[in-house]
Chain A
Amino acid sequence: MVADTCAKHFKILGLTTVLMGVSAIGVQAQQAAAPAPVRLGIVSFLTGPAASPFGIPGRNGAEIMIEALNGGKVPAPYATVGLGGTKIEAKYVDEAGSAANVVTEFRNLVQRDKVDAVVGYISSGSCLAVTPVAEELKALTVYFDCGTPRIFEEAARKYVFRPSPHATMDNTGAARYVLSKKKDVKFFSGINQNYAWGQDSWRDFLSAMNILAPSAKAEKELFPKLFAGEYGAEISTLLTSKSQVVHTSFWNGDLEGFLYQSQARGLSKRMPIIATTAEASIWRMRDKMPDGTIIGGRGPNGPLAPNTALNKWFHGIYVDRYGTPPTYPSYQMALAILGLKVAWEKAQKTKGGGAPTTEEIVSAFEGIEYEAPSGKVKLALGKGHQGIQETAYGTYRFNKQKQTPEIVDVIRFPAECVNPPSDVNSDDWVKGGMKGAKC
């Protein structure tokens, strides 16, 4: 009897086959009717814990940049409509899910929706999983936020670009800021989430401190689990230590939880906390963020961005639309889209008009230098695929008169000071004494 049911069920497989055929026809019909615009797939966390701090600001950055580009409203030198006169049509996709889901949705964008380029990805795991697929499909892909240096260090890439600097810069910059503010640091500690981002951040910070201040000792190396939310034991450990500064790469909920709890127990008064991603949280935490916290924003983003006309314009339109200032993921998204625009138009110019092919854009993209709301960027690493920028750190202060967060005592570090030269792996570079750093 069971076997009889089996027989029936095998017929379902036949139905599935029909379904395959039907969807194939549907997609072909869609393509025939497809309009002329440049199609971009924008991938960002739209759901899950990384959506509110990174995913949504990233998506908003894309939405507003694409709208402004299509309207030809971006200040010079980006005043041409869309990409080289062709309007952009964006399709937004959620990054949430397993590596299998991320790769499947990437293939869907490239092979089903026939997008001309994919811009996106926040998680380093997503970037690492997508990279070989992008290379295999010869699909132009621009990452905007993921931080791992491994992407261009494990192999040379052709179709993948990342204008935003990788995470090594965040932690070498953090070490330099700490040492320029507190030259006599003898003991320091770190509290980082126990996953790749936290482990890598701490390793880079620790190596940089060992090189820049060999006499300073790492005292407590704490790795609570991701999304732990409660840090009572860790704060007690830090309170009983002699550390003069504590490093953290926590973000969003974990960062807020840790800062609230450390403020309540006086930890933030005992030792300043250097938080490498805190810029993304200042507009939410406001006066709840302890004064004196050292703030990083994954590069010169948000209040750490240079005072240029382009930045003022971007900040202005973002606040008008979303009612809150843009944070670093929005800046990184603007950086990625403008990079694509520069490469696209350069390829178009070389070609002498018309829509450039992927191959033409890819070779035009390599090694470009341009300006974004977060200042100048140069695709100097990974054979011209990985960007470097200057970075900045500053100290947080809540201005009670104006009721607004402020970052003061900002120190800027040139791109060549906090990033490795093009032929060295970042981990080896930091451990080997940061040779060739121009500060």
Chain B
Amino acid sequence: MSARTNLAGASAFVVLAAAALAAPAWFVSLATIAFANALVVLGLIVLWRAGLVPFGQALYYCVGAYTVALLARWVGITDAFVMLAVSGLIAGLVAYVVGFLLARYREIFFAMLSLALSMILYGVLVKTETLGSTDGFGVATPTFAGYAPHREALGLALYWLVLAVGALCAFAVSTYFRTTAGALAIPIRDNEIRIEFLGLSVNDLIHLKLVIAGVVGGLGGALAAMSIGHVDPNMSYWTTSGGFVFVTILAGASSVAAAFVGSLVFEIVRTVAVDLLPGFWQMILGSVLLLTILFLPEGLGSVFARLRGAPDRGAP
């Protein structure tokens, strides 16, 4: 079954990569940002399955984004691959450190504590006038191992980079879901004591999930920063985290692909809403979320499962 999934994933990857050549430039850049954000959602899904809803995932998103921006500003590195590796590493490190604290909390306490941590970063960045405070600052145009494209070529290069990183992360996370540690997510949600009796530490399992979510969140932030070309402290604000939770509800936690589909659908709905009702577009977004919760409590991913008559499954 896993071979079939991987094959489906690989073909989707090839089709999406090829589609960029036919799609208009504005849609390619919209999809780039959507898939970069999808990486953060992927991290949320990892935690979501274990019953943990962080309201501060923007912390890693912002750390990744600022790492990219500062590498160019302070160190002069503009190579996308180096910037990505460093961002993932630093975001993972941050997640590892705060994980010692966060892994001990559940439910609302976990949600609020993660929110508090992301707001600390927000507060620090707002106070840092040398980095432009709330206005933020620009990100240097990335290069790709010596290749320095511009305009449409840059858009395509970034899109393919996001797609490649997204595919690698999706593959890694779905492999993780099939390992013992990954498969224990739903049992953790249902009954932690049972896991402890298996001889495993729930806190350690959650700590690992936090690091995974942190790394993919950092990568997402790094890719978003390269694609937007600008970073600001709002990337760490709680509404940004809320946006990721929104997309996770929309997507559902049943599969890794849902993160990408959900994020793309969200971006398309948002942009169409802004186009149709410039002054009331939030109404459309809100209605979509409301309708999703009412009719598809398991997220968009469950539609396809339902269409095929399969029972709903997955996390909350």
Contacts and interface: CB of A to CB of B under 8 A. Distances in A.
Interface residues of A, number: 59
A20 to B, nearest CB: 4
**Most chain A CB atoms below 10 A, which of B11, B136, B141, B230:** B230
Interface string B110-130: 000000000000000011010
Contacts of B33: 100, 104
B27 A12 contact: no
Nearest to B127: A194
Contact of A125 (B29, B135, B227): B135
Contacts of A20: 19, 22-23, 27, 31
Interface string B273-300: 0110011111000000000000000000
Contacts of B136: 99, 125, 128-129
A1 B268 CA distance: 30
Interface string B10-29: 01100110010011111101
A93 B274 contact: yes
B286 to A, nearest CB: 12
Contacts of A107: 25-26, 29-30
5 contacts: A5-B305, A9-B261, A10-B8, A98-B234, A136-B154
Given A100-B228, A103-B228, A199 B26 contact: no
Interface in A178-197: 194-197
A320 interface: no
B270 to A, nearest CB: 7
Contact of B178 (A3, A27, A104): A3
Interface in B178-220: 178
Nearest to A226: B134
A24 B313 contact: no
**Most chain A CB atoms below 10 A, which of B12, B150, B224, B313:** B12
A128 B304 contact: no
B2 A12 contact: no
Interface in B246-282: 254-258, 260-261, 264, 267-268, 270-271, 274-275, 278-282
Contacts of B268: 19
B75 interface: no
A199 B128 CA distance: 10
Contacts of A13: 12, 15-16, 257, 260-261
Nearest to B311: A1
**Most chain A CB atoms below 10 A, which of B16, B22, B258, B274:** B274
B229 A132 contact: yes
A14 interface: yes
A104 B227 CA distance: 10
B230 A2 contact: no
B279 A99 contact: no
Nearest to B237: A98
B120 to A, nearest CB: 14
Interface in B21-53: 22-27, 29-31, 33, 37
Contact of A112 (B24, B134, B231): B24
Contacts of B134: 125, 195-197, 226
A166 B126 CA distance: 21
B22 A46 contact: no
A108 interface: yes
Contacts of A132: 138, 141, 229-230
Nearest to A20: B23
B174 interface: yes
B301 A24 contact: no
Main secondary structure of the interface of A (DSSP, over half): helix
A244 interface: no
A128 B261 contact: no
A12 B262 CA distance: 10
Given A93-B274, A99-B228, A133-B229, A7 B137 contact: no
A402 interface: no
Contact of B24 (A24, A128, A194): A24
Contacts of B281: 47, 94
B118 to A, nearest CB: 14
B241 to A, nearest CB: 12
A150 B132 contact: yes
Contacts of A148: 135
Interface string A101-134: 1011101101110000000000011001101110
Contacts of B145: none
A105 B267 CA distance: 11
B5 to A, nearest CB: 5
A137 B25 CA distance: 11
Interface string B141-175: 10000000011001000000000000000000010
Interface string B70-104: 00000000000000000000000000000000000
Contact of B301 (A9, A47, A154): A9
A33 interface: no
A133 to B, nearest CB: 6
Contacts of A400: none
A111 B260 CA distance: 24
A5 B254 contact: yes
B24 A105 contact: no
Contacts of A98: 234-235, 240, 243
A111 B33 CA distance: 16
**Most chain B CB atoms below 10 A, which of A6, A13, A128:** A6
A12 B265 CA distance: 11
A-B residue pairs, 9 tightest by C-beta: A10-B8, A13-B12, A129-B230, A9-B257, A111-B26, A196-B133, A196-B135, A195-B134, A46-B279
A422 B5 CA distance: 61
A234 to B, nearest CB: 17
A13 B255 CA distance: 13
Contacts of A194: 126-127
B151 A137 contact: yes
A6 B278 contact: no
Given A105-B271, A148-B135, A3 B24 contact: no
A6 B19 contact: no
Contacts of B31: 20
B308 A99 contact: no
B114 to A, nearest CB: 19
Contact of B278 (A3, A4, A92): A92
Nearest to A28: B24
